[in-house]
Every structure is written in structure tokens, then in C-alpha cells.
Structure 1
Amino acid sequence: MIGILGWALFLALFVVFVALGFYGARWRRGDMSQLHEWALAGRRLGTFLVWFLIGADLYTAYTFVAVPSGMFASGALYFFAVPYVSITFAIAMLTMPRLWEWSRKHGYVTAADMVADRFSSKALAGLVAITGIIAELPYIALQIVGMQAVLTIMLYGLVKNVVEVSDIALTVSFIILAAFTFTSGLRGATLGAVLKDSLIFLSVIVLIIVVPLKYGGFATAFANAQAFAQQLAAHKVAWLTTGITNLKPAASLAWGYATLWLGSAMALFLYPHAINGSLSSQGKKQLAMSTALLPIYGIGLAILAMLGILVYADPTAMAILSKFPLSSAGILAVPALAVASLPDWLAGIVLLGIFIGGLVPAAIMAIAQANLLTRNIIRPLYPKITPQGETRASKWASVIFKFIALGFVFTVPATYAIQLQLLGGIIILQTLPPVFLGLITNRLNKYALMAGWVAGIASGLYLVEVANHFGPLKTSLYPVAHVLIFIGLLSLLINVVVALVFSVPTMMKREQAVKEKA
């Protein structure tokens, strides 16, 4: 827990965050009854605002809760997140500027709009939309888990019913978030992203300097961490079963590590919230420049991942974590380290950064889900809907999606939310053929793409079920020829093969028609 000064700064900065969110409705004012104004900030964000916004899209509780938690409990396998980030921005450079160009020209608001146009299929676009909506739910839930971790550390020792009080605080926070998202749309989220990312970068810099210096440098800190983990293992401490004693993953996990980062890199810019942030740019060059700057966020991710190991070097932080069960100890690692290592006032600032680091992405994700629902599901079913009606529907849908995810977290243990986020990656990868391949060619058959989608989703869910019934990390890995492979890539391979094989007759007919014309 933190003291009065830490609480005061936390609450004061939270008020600033809320004020920025509501001010967004007046900032760069546009006609908020138009969906592109509310959901894409009028497509008028410059290089650095898009950089902050996409960074807020991607620098989420996955970064400062899930990854350090995995490092804390499983060792270096979870470091796959670092190379995956370095690759995913290269993929974004190849795909997002092209998608932005078409979206500006044709008025697309979602990637599914492009799919509907390219393949003349509202049904295929609907499948892409449904996939995006479902894949976002566990991602939003993970943001809430990160916020819960902050509140748990702050409230522990102050109140008896920590869970109940934190649930109330989360509900109030989401009501406020829903209110300013409803009125300000992406503009409010963008201003919040600037504050959030500034605090997160401050937090990362402070923690990576303070923690190693506290123990005489990185070498000493890592040595202390490993020694402490070995001591726990030697005494067979029931509270913790850890993979930190083997910082290098076993050889059998090498393929799992490689395919996890490759598959995750391919998946990230298929998520609707990442696409939504990209389409808000005012120009193709600005988007390319902001994307080129995004690897800076990867540095912060690497540092935060290492904190999942360095927390072992801090006896005070470990004493805090020992009061919690293993299922939540890893999730609390970074907040506990902040409280243990920093003065009250600075800990309050760092914890607020992590807290709104869950709120901002949750807002953007809910906006992206709402866009898909109204543009690609409601609009085809009710073509008479007006632009104003479309915007109203999106606003209310964004509220509903937030509270669906909130209810999900209240009923499902936190550890499952993180595992389901990995399942979200497997699901969203199945939209790659119509979205990314659709940027290259429209010669694939729409029915073949639908068949590939069905095969990919079915095989992915089946392999997840067979793999481990939601066990630690293996949820997303499946044994193939004595090595573990990311299920998302296996199901995507099946998807692509089915789509290509069933598209061959259509492609041959087109070639024949071209020859006959010639």
C-alpha cells in the first residue's frame, strides 16, 4: 500500500485524466454525429498524436501486467513479447499506410469495410467483424486485470474487503470512462493517451534505474534474483513454483518461443483497435512516420519484462507478494515493485500510469468493437440507418462492450483473463487472409475465404482444447513432432491452405476469360 501523499497524487492525476477525456469533445471540434468524427477523431491526428494513440493501443496491461507476470512465474519464455514487438511494427509499415489510403478514398471506418468492398461480400465482412469483436473482449478484460492489480496493492492493509472495494472502484472508473468515451470518442482517448504514455515512460525509466542501483547494478540484481528463486525452490515453498531458476527456456520450448513471437507479430495489427488508431491519421506520410517511431515502445516493453525477474531481488516486494496466492502474485509484480522501491509520491504517479494504462486502451478497443458492430453487422441488416443513427448506435455499443468485459472479469479468475487474451490472438489471426491478403489481391474467392475462416477458427479452438484446458501458457502451444508450436500459426496455415485451394478454380476461370478476351 502507499501513504497519503501517494494517494493524493494518484487521485489528482486521475482527475486530470478525466478532465482531458471530457475536454476531448471540444478539442478540434467536428460534427460528432458523424461516425468518422467520433470514432476516428475526424482523421486529423498528426504524427506524434498517432504515435501516442497507437502506443496507447498497444502499450497496455499486456505489457506491464501479463508479460512481467509470465516472466515472474515462467522465466524467459515470456520474453517472446520483445522480438514480436520489433517485427510487428515492420508489418504495420507494410500494411497500415495502404489500408489508410483506401480508407480515406472510399470512406472506410473498419478493415471489414475494405473486405466487403474488395470481395463484394457483406457476409465475409460480417465474419471479420464478429471475429474482431470477440477477440477484443479478453483484451479489454486484461486491461481491467491490470487496473485490479494496482487497486489491490494500494488498498491492501487499508481495508478489510479489498476485493469488494476494488470492484466498486473499477465500476466507478468504467462509468466515468464510458461517459467521456460516449461524448468525446477517440478525441478523448487520444488526449488521455498522451498523459498515460508520459506517465508510463516516466515509470519505466524510474524503475529500471532505481531497482538495479538499489542492488549494485544489473548483474548483482539478477544474481540476487536467481539466488532467491533457488532458495525458494530448495525449501519447496508451496506459495511459488517458478521457472526463474532456469532463465534459458528448455530446448523443447525453442520453437514455441519463435512461433509465439512470429504469430503474435502477425496478429497485432489485425486487432480492430490497432487498425482504428492507424486510420485516425491525417495523412499517409504521418502514419508511416509515427509507425517508424513505434519501436521506441519496444524498449519500454523489454524493461518491463525484466522487472518480472528483478522483483525477486527486492525482499520488500517479495514480502508483499508472499501475502497473495500464486494465481495473483505474478500479476501484482510490477505494482508491488513500485511500492517497495519508490517513495510514496513517486509510487502514486507510477501506479496511476499503470491504472489509466488500462483505461485508455479499453476505451479505444470498445470504440473499435462498436464500429464493427454498426458498420458491418447492423448496417447490412438495416441499410436504412442514417449516419446519425449509426453514430448513436456505436456510442451505446461502446458502453455495452466495456461493461460486458467488466462483468467477465468479475466472474472469471484473473489468470484465465490473461490466458484468454492469448486465445484472442489465435482467433484474430484468422482474419489475416481477407484483410492482409485483401490488400494485395481481390482474386481470392469469397466463399473460399469463408471456408478458410471456418477451418481456422474450428482447428484453433480444437487445438486449444486438446492442448491444455487453459493451463499455464500451454493454452497457446501445441506439440508437433516433439516441439511446441503456437496454435495461432497452425490454424492460420490451415485457413490459408483451404482459402487458396478453393480459390484455384475461380482464379483459373478468370485467367481463361482474360485469354479469351485477348
Structure 2
Amino acid sequence: MAIGNIDYVSLAVFIILFAVFAFLGFYGARFRKGDLKQIEEWSLGGRRLGTILVWFLLGADLFTAYTFIAVPAGVFGSGSLYFFAVPYVAWGFFVALLTMPRLWTVSRNRHYVTAADFVKDRFNSKSLAMAVALTGIVAELPYIALQIVGMEAVLEILLLGLGVSSKVVTELSLVLAFIVLAAFTFTSGLRGAALTGIFKDVLVWLTVITVIIAVPLQIGGFSHAFTVAQSTKKIFETLPPSLYTAYFSLALGSAFALYLYPHAINGSLSSNDKQKLKYSTSLLPIYGIGLALIALFGILVYGVPGALTLIKHTGNAALAVPALISYTMPDWFIGIALSAIFIGGLVPAAIMAIAIANLFARNVVKEINPNMSPRTETALAKWMSTVFKFLALGFVFVVPASYAIQLQLLGGIIISQTLPAVFLALFTEKLEPKSTLAGWAGGIITAVGLAYYRNFVQLHQTSFTTSLYPLFGHFLYMALIALGVNLAITLIGSAIAYALGWRPKSAINKQELEVVIQKAS
């Protein structure tokens, strides 16, 4: 089946760029050399990354193959509601500027590698730290799986264009790519991810800028695409009033969750300076502009008949952007663009696997075996980063892609429940550990309960298909409802404990926290 302008030139460019990516990944072991048998060197780049490297790393961390695939596919299918991703990242960076410099400062002073390290000392509670660690692992795994879903879409359209429709070939290609990824992550750690992140982002920006200029010129502008969209499928150009609260709550809840994910915290802690971290974060809204342009790809698809026919034929909206590119761009540029999306899945998958491997080694296994040596801890984290990558890969092979996407939405709802223990604790020492743990449990139970009740009882679905819940006549993102329960339990419980005579017994005392606040300001 011929697809647009895909040919063997496209494949050759794709393979060459993947080879460059692999070289940079392995070369990372020699970049700013350090003892990669130490956890801080392997997983945080020795905390020696400057403004530009952290900017590229966080950009690679947060703007992924899934962003390239899912956001335009959402706009293609549902219209304006999916533009919530644009304000959400802007608000997310504001949250990051409030929290990450403080977390970076105390982490640098006390050699923390994960958020759970901070929670353990802040609350003097191993159980709360382990709860935060396990939540991060559970929420992150489907996020890795989603990168693979995006990569799978790229391989599917590339191979279909070459006349190969075998799912086995697609899966073998993914396995080979993940073997390369696992190998250089094991040897290079975050340094390899940082270098490949720069390469990935150059390809991404080249693709975004070229497509957003070239395609409208070919099809007669955005007005033509919007006209066809409205005549082909009812899509909301203007958000209807019934979805106002859904839009706002999705944006706000996602903004709270963004920097609670282990990979975002891991990238922030790799900075070599608090001020440089602030500069890096301040520059990230540039990626927000890129995201807005990527979202518009979902509208441009309507102006390309060949892409519409392919999506209808396959029944797979995830092919929207690859199809758009394949039917409008020359063969050599198709290779570049598909490489950008494919590598855009591999780089964040590496960072995510490193982040949750740290949580597993430091905050789960080491709590069970506190005598574990630093080198053993690092070795375990390296091996677990490989295990987690292939667990996510196996998950994608076993379950439908739509399940992975919906589980990631549930992951966002779940990770939000760590907000009091991680973010609020940066500003106050007056959260009582048991109350905070009870709040976390209440939030998790509420989140899972709402998701189950809404999807399987009210809507009679066979899988998790929506993260919105009707409350008082308005649709709200379940994360905010669950977080409200969480905060109520945490704050009321802490107030009662304080009234009964409880006082903070944190390893990070009030004076040290004040120093942290002063340094982070």
C-alpha cells in the first residue's frame, strides 16, 4: 500500500538519523566524565548540567512522541477541548518555578536523588516515602508505554509505505530500538539522555516549523482545513459552555501533576546551579509554543485528502500526524520528521526509566535492605531501568493501544495525590506524617473509585475511557476531586494532631528549611 511520498529514501534517512542518535547515546558515557558507578553521576549527570542542557533535557523529558501523536489526534477527533494542553504546560512551568528551585536546593544540600528521599526526611516517615515512590513507579510505567505507542505509529506508517504490513516486523523493530536504548542508558545514564535530547529537539523543532509553514501553503491555508473539518465531522472550533469546567480542570489538574512525575523531578535535580535551573524553566514556555503548533496539526489533516483516507482505512487516529507529513512533504524530509517522532519516544523513555529505577532502588529496596552499598544501589538501578523499559514494551504488545492511553490518564490522576507530601512540604513543616499518609490513601482510593464508577458502572464501558466526572452539573477532572479529598484529610488530620500536642520531628528542621527558602528565592 503506497502512502504519500514514503519510499526507500525516507527509510535510509530514518536509519541514518537513528544511527546518529545511538552514537550520541553511547558517547554520553565520555561526556563530562564521572564515576558512573555512583547513583548521582549515573542518574543525575553528576548534577553538572547547565542552563541549555537542562532546557533541552526537560524539553525532551516533557515533549514526547506521545505529545506528537496524541494531542493532534485529540484535536482531530474532538476539537477545541484538547487545546487544554496549551495552558496546562504554561501553568505547569509556573508550578515548576515555585517548587523546583526549593527542591533542588535541599536535594543538593542533602544529596537527595528522588522526591521520596526528601519526603522521608521531611516527614521522618519511611512509609510515606515508600508510598510516594510506589505511586511514582505505577504512574510512570504507562507513560513509558505511551511513548512506545507513538513510536509504533511511526513504524506502522513507514512500513506500510514500503509495502510491509507485518505486525511482527513492527514489534521486532521496536525491540531492536529498545535494546540499543537500554544498552546506552545502562552505560551512559542521564548524560546519554541529555545528548540525545539535544539531537531529538533539533529534529522536532525542524519538523514543527517546516510543517506549520509548508502544509498551509500547499492546502490553501488553515481556513480551508477548518472548512473541511466542519463539513466532514462535527468538531468544536469554539469550546461549548458545557465543557468550560472540563477544559479548565483538565488544564489545572495536569499542571499540578506535570512536575510531580519522577522524570520531571529527575531532570530538574540534574542542574548544576539553582539560578540556571530557574533560567531553564523560564525558557520552557518556548516549548509551549511548539505544543500549540503541534496541536494545530490535527486541524491541518482535514485539508489533506490522502491522510484522511488513510486514517479512515486504518481506523487509527494516532496516524494523523505521520499521515499528514507523509502526504505533504518530500521523501527525504519524511525520514527526518518520522525520526523526530520516533526518537522523541526513545529519549523520554530513557529518562523515565532512570527516574523510576532510582525510586525502586533507593526508596523501596534500600528501605528493605538498608545495608546495601552505594555501588550495589547504582547497579540495581541500572538493571531495573532496563527491566522497566521492557515491561512497558511488553505491555504495549499485549494490550490495545487505547488501554495504554487511558491508563496514562489514570496515572496523571494518581500522581497528583503526592502533591501534599512533595510540594506543600516545601513550604511548611506542619503537615503531620500519618495524616498526610491517610490523605494520600484517601486520594488514591477516591481516584480509582471515581474512575471505576464513572467508566464501568455509569457508562457501562469495558475499559477506562474518560477522566472526567460530572459533579454538581459540571464535568471535572477526577484528579482535582481526588486531590480535594486528599487535602481535606491531610489538613484536618494535621490540625487535630497539632491541637493534641504533635509537633514536627523532621530531619530537615525549620531553620534549614528557611535557609532553603532563602537560597531558592
TM over 0.5: yes
Cα distance in structure 2, aligned partners of 1:487 and 1:192: 35
Match of 1:375 in 2: 362
User: Once the two structures are superposed, what CA deviation does each residue of 1:451-491 show, in whole Å capped at 9, x if it has no partner?
Assistant: 11111000100101111246898521000111100000000
Cα distance in structure 2, aligned partners of 1:249 and 1:413: 30
Deviation, structure 1 residue 421: 1.1
Cα distance in structure 2, aligned partners of 1:220 and 1:160: 33
Contact (CA 8 Å) 2:225, 2:300: kept in 1 or not?
Answer: yes
Match of 2:283 in 1: 293
User: Once the two structures are superposed, what CA deviation does each residue of 1:252-292 show, in whole Å capped at 9, x if it has no partner?
Assistant: 22111110000000000000000000000000000000000
Cα distance in structure 2, aligned partners of 1:98 and 1:493: 24
Match of 1:441 in 2: 428
Query: For 1:79, what is the secondary structure of its paired residue?
Result: helix
Cα distance in structure 2, aligned partners of 1:334 and 1:344: 15
Match of 1:75 in 2: 79
Match of 2:400 in 1: 413
Are residue 217 (structure 1) and residue 204 (structure 2) matched?
no
Contact (CA 8 Å) 2:156, 2:165: kept in 1 or not?
Answer: no
Match of 1:30 in 2: 34
Cα distance in structure 2, aligned partners of 1:319 and 1:472: 28
After TM superposition, list the pairs within 5 Å mapping 1:234-245 onto structure 2: 243-244=234-235
Amino acid corresponding to residue 135 of structure 1 in structure 2: A
Match of 2:509 in 1: none
After TM superposition, list the pairs within 5 Å mapping 1:111-126 onto structure 2: 111-126=115-130
**Given the alignment, which residue of 196, 200, 206 partners 2:204?**
200
Amino acid corresponding to residue 479 of structure 1 in structure 2: P
Match of 1:458 in 2: 445
Deviation, structure 1 residue 61: 2.5
Moved more, 173-182 or 149-158: 149-158
Residues 410 and 201 of structure 1: CA distance in aligned 2, closer, same or farther (over 3 Å): same
Deviation, structure 1 residue 160: 4.7
Contact (CA 8 Å) 1:226, 1:312: kept in 2 or not?
Answer: no
Amino acid corresponding to residue 476 of structure 1 in structure 2: S
Cα distance in structure 2, aligned partners of 1:352 and 1:61: 10
Match of 1:279 in 2: 269
Cα distance in structure 1, aligned partners of 2:132 and 2:186: 24
Cα distance in structure 2, aligned partners of 1:178 and 1:500: 42
Query: For 2:30, what is the secondary structure of its paired residue?
Result: coil
Query: For 1:45, what is the secondary structure of its paired residue?
Result: coil
Contact (CA 8 Å) 1:129, 1:372: kept in 2 or not?
Answer: yes
Cα distance in structure 2, aligned partners of 1:133 and 1:91: 22
Deviation, structure 1 residue 438: 0.9
Match of 1:358 in 2: 345
Deviation, structure 1 residue 510: 5.1
Amino acid corresponding to residue 256 of structure 1 in structure 2: A
Identity, in percent, stands at: 56
Contact (CA 8 Å) 1:150, 1:355: kept in 2 or not?
Answer: yes
Are residue 11 (structure 1) and residue 15 (structure 2) matched?
yes
User: Once the two structures are superposed, what CA deviation does each residue of 1:202-245 show, in whole Å capped at 9, x if it has no partner?
Assistant: 11001100111112222233223333x14xxxxxxxxxxxx42x
Contact (CA 8 Å) 1:314, 1:337: kept in 2 or not?
Answer: yes
Contact (CA 8 Å) 1:252, 1:482: kept in 2 or not?
Answer: no
How many equivalent pairs are there?
Answer: 496
Are residue 46 (structure 1) and residue 50 (structure 2) matched?
yes
**Given the alignment, which residue of 489, 494, 497 partners 2:485?**
494
Moved more, 470-479 or 148-157: 470-479
Match of 2:324 in 1: 337
**Given the alignment, which residue of 211, 220, 245 partners 1:255?**
245
Contact (CA 8 Å) 2:7, 2:162: kept in 1 or not?
Answer: no
Cα distance in structure 1, aligned partners of 2:462 and 2:80: 18
Deviation, structure 1 residue 512: 9.1
Cα distance in structure 2, aligned partners of 1:291 and 1:451: 32
Query: For 2:469, what is the secondary structure of its paired residue?
Result: strand
Match of 1:130 in 2: 134
Contact (CA 8 Å) 2:10, 2:333: kept in 1 or not?
Answer: yes
**Given the alignment, which residue of 475, 496, 501 partners 1:505?**
496
Cα distance in structure 2, aligned partners of 1:81 and 1:467: 23
Residues 212 and 159 of structure 1: CA distance in aligned 2, closer, same or farther (over 3 Å): closer
Cα distance in structure 2, aligned partners of 1:219 and 1:510: 66
Deviation, structure 1 residue 316: 1.7
**Given the alignment, which residue of 453, 467, 477 partners 2:468?**
477
User: Once the two structures are superposed, what CA deviation does each residue of 1:29-57 show, in whole Å capped at 9, x if it has no partner?
Assistant: 10011000000000000000000000011
Match of 1:62 in 2: 66
Deviation, structure 1 residue 356: 0.4
Query: For 1:475, what is the secondary structure of its paired residue?
Result: coil
User: Once the two structures are superposed, what CA deviation does each residue of 1:146-189 show, in whole Å capped at 9, x if it has no partner?
Assistant: 00000011011534543111111001101110000000000000
Deviation, structure 1 residue 507: 2.1
Match of 1:265 in 2: 255
User: Once the two structures are superposed, what CA deviation does each residue of 1:49-83 show, in whole Å capped at 9, x if it has no partner?
Assistant: 00000001100123111111111111111111011
Contact (CA 8 Å) 1:145, 1:409: kept in 2 or not?
Answer: yes
Contact (CA 8 Å) 2:66, 2:149: kept in 1 or not?
Answer: no
Are residue 99 (structure 1) and residue 90 (structure 2) matched?
no
Moved more, 504-513 or 34-43: 504-513
Match of 1:237 in 2: none
User: Once the two structures are superposed, what CA deviation does each residue of 1:71-127 show, in whole Å capped at 9, x if it has no partner?
Assistant: 111111111101101110011001001100000000000011000000001110000
Query: For 2:32, what is the secondary structure of its paired residue?
Result: coil
Root-mean-square deviation over aligned CA pairs: 1.5
Amino acid corresponding to residue 169 of structure 2 in structure 1: V
Are residue 468 (structure 1) and residue 455 (structure 2) matched?
yes
Cα distance in structure 2, aligned partners of 1:48 and 1:301: 19
Unaligned runs of 5+ in 2: 505-521
Query: For 1:212, what is the secondary structure of its paired residue?
Result: helix
Amino acid corresponding to residue 356 of structure 2 in structure 1: Q
Moved more, 115-124 or 462-471: 462-471
Contact (CA 8 Å) 2:28, 2:188: kept in 1 or not?
Answer: yes
Cα distance in structure 1, aligned partners of 2:40 and 2:501: 36
Contact (CA 8 Å) 1:444, 1:507: kept in 2 or not?
Answer: no
Deviation, structure 1 residue 505: 2.4
Contact (CA 8 Å) 1:467, 1:474: kept in 2 or not?
Answer: no
Name the TM-score, length of structure 2 as normaliser.
0.93
Contact (CA 8 Å) 1:43, 1:279: kept in 2 or not?
Answer: yes
Match of 2:419 in 1: 432
